[in-house]
Amino acid sequence: MRRAGIVLMNHGLITWGATPMEAYQRHMEIVKKADKFVGGGQTILSVQTGRIACPPLAPALRGALSRDRKVILEFDDSPEVLQFLARDDLERITQIGPATPDHLLYTKRFPLLLDNDSVEKYVERYKQNYEKFHSEFPMLDPMPRVILERGVGMWTAGKDARAARIVRDIYRHTMRVIAGAEKLGGYETLNDTDAFHAEYWPLELYKLTLLPKEKELAGHVALITGAASGIGRAIALRFAEEGAHVVVTDIADVSEVAAQVKGFRQAIAVKLDVSDENNVERAFEVAVREYGGVDVIVSNAGVSSFGTLDVLPLADWERSFAVNTRGHFLVARAAMRIMKQQGRGGSIVFNASKNVTAPGKEFGAYSVSKAAEAQLCRIVALEGGEFGIRANMLNPDAIFDGSRFWSEEMRAMRAQAYGIAADRLPEYYRNRTLLKTEVTAEDVAEAALFLAGPRSAKTTGAMLPVDGGVREAFPR
């Protein structure tokens, strides 16, 4: 009988044929036979776990894994994973090794089993193993890529969501390989020496040197409020350009904004009313569930109201404070809780307003509530400093492009106050600046990027005007 393929021990299956299709068909035939022999198509048993929607351990775990660079986590509590984690021999079979050398490069040799282990112990064992072989190459990242916890699920870590998903898919496959091999008499894989040389294979290490330089916010998770339009939208898209995974939130539909981010699972859209405590908590739960935590917050959502104080309805006054003050408090509080759990600091950027330092006539509710937001920012800086949590504010003015702030009614009211036609309002604001320039949402996004990222690592409690130079609004 003519041979159709060869199985390489601890490596994989090679098949051949007269054409690529023939080789592929033979490959699939052999795989199906092997699957049938092992007992594929197994029934997933019902596993009682008391699962929770948002594992509370995730931020602390992500913080521990982000020692040298930030990582994105993916969580998997599927029935297949939970059934594997319910095995009595879990501790033994997870510490045998990967299914193939190629898998090792993505998943590391062993997963971390949280039942009786920790990230610190895992790293120490990795260092000891590295030192045992006296390699000529520098030690690679010692952090685990797969983290397992009985009754909870599996986290996989990567430099971005795509990398975390690849690790997840590979280890789910490894689970099936282990389960099948154990049925047939026992799972075996590479010994210590072979595993080390597979991980430190010179060709693979050389490929690592060819990787492009990471972007400014690579591995960061940023949550932006009020991101359906205007400044928030521009910030979300700009942060994504710089490698951040963005949680795009607004009381309006933000799906279109998230869809503009092309990276794999790099953006998620969440409906959020920042004045609602439960809404805010759920939004942060989503961020933790999807990415493992948060590093950057842009508290941008706001509303405007106008009218002199003697005619201003109480409802408008209270609405301004509900969004422009309470909303920022609720977002900052939720962010600080997670950032403290992560133990890696963080950056909270408040979009305040030129009205903080130069309040506007007939803008009382807006100006006073924004001044309270500015004071909140300073308190966050005071209380967050010892935890590496920075808080700074932006003071933009008159951003017309794509902003819902400047409704037709608002334009008409301000134009009337200045005695000009409504269509001349942008020109009026431009000419009153010292630089005689129009400030755009993209200009504010650049300032937000500066305050969010490492370039402002030593700055907190600061106020950064982005207004083209409005002398009445000079910080004082």
Classify residue 50: in a domain, yes or no. Answer: no
Q: Which of 95, 91, 90, 55 is nearest to 76 (CA)?
A: 55
Sequence-separated (6 or more) residues with CB below 8 Å from residue 136: none
Higher pLDDT, 408 or 322: 322
Q: Is the dihedral of CA 406, 327, 235, 451 positive or negative?
A: positive
Q: What is the CATH number of the domain that holds 445?
A: 3.40.50.720
pLDDT value at residue 39: 66
Specify the residue for token string 């005007």. 465
Considering the domain architecture, whether residues 260 and 408 belong to the same structural domain is answered as yes
pLDDT value at residue 53: 56
Domain count, the chain: 3
Considering the domain architecture, whether residues 457 and 317 belong to the same structural domain is answered as yes
Question: Residue 46 pLDDT more than 70?
Answer: no
* pLDDT tens-digit series, residues 136-156: 899 999 999 999 999 999 999
Contacts 24+ apart (CB under 8 A), 185-191: 187/93, 187/96, 188/96, 189/10, 189/96, 189/97, 189/98, 189/99, 190/10, 190/97, 190/98, 190/101, 190/104
Q: What is the CATH number of the domain that holds 62?
A: 3.40.225.10
* pLDDT tens-digit series, residues 47-75: 444 444 556 899 999 999 998 899 999 99
CA distance 274 to 396: 20
Considering the domain architecture, whether residues 178 and 253 belong to the same structural domain is answered as no
Classify residue 44: in a domain, yes or no. Answer: no
Q: Could you give the C-alpha distances from 370 to 55, 216, 305, in angstroms and in order? A: 35, 30, 12
Q: Which domain holds residue 178?
A: 58-204
pLDDT value at residue 474: 86
* pLDDT tens-digit series, residues 149-175: 999 999 999 999 999 999 999 999 999
pLDDT tier, 10 (very low <50, low <70, confident <90, very high otherwise): low
* pLDDT tens-digit series, residues 445-470: 999 999 999 999 999 999 999 999 99
Under DSSP, the state recorded for 307 is B
* pLDDT tens-digit series, residues 293-326: 999 999 999 998 888 999 999 999 999 999 999 9
Q: Give the global pTM.
A: 0.90
pLDDT value at residue 51: 44
Considering the domain architecture, whether residues 306 and 446 belong to the same structural domain is answered as yes
The residue among 178, 204, 230 that closes a domain is 204
Neighbours of 211 (CB within 10 A): 8
Classify residue 43: in a domain, yes or no. Answer: no
What pairs with residue 248 in β-bridges?
224, 269
By annotation, the residues acting in catalysis are 366
Q: Is 154 in contact with 85 (CB distance < 8 Å)?
A: yes
Considering the domain architecture, whether residues 24 and 164 belong to the same structural domain is answered as no
Considering the domain architecture, whether residues 141 and 284 belong to the same structural domain is answered as no
Pick from 77-81, 403-407, 468-472 the range whose average pLDDT is largest: 77-81
Provide the mean pLDDT of the chain. Answer: 90
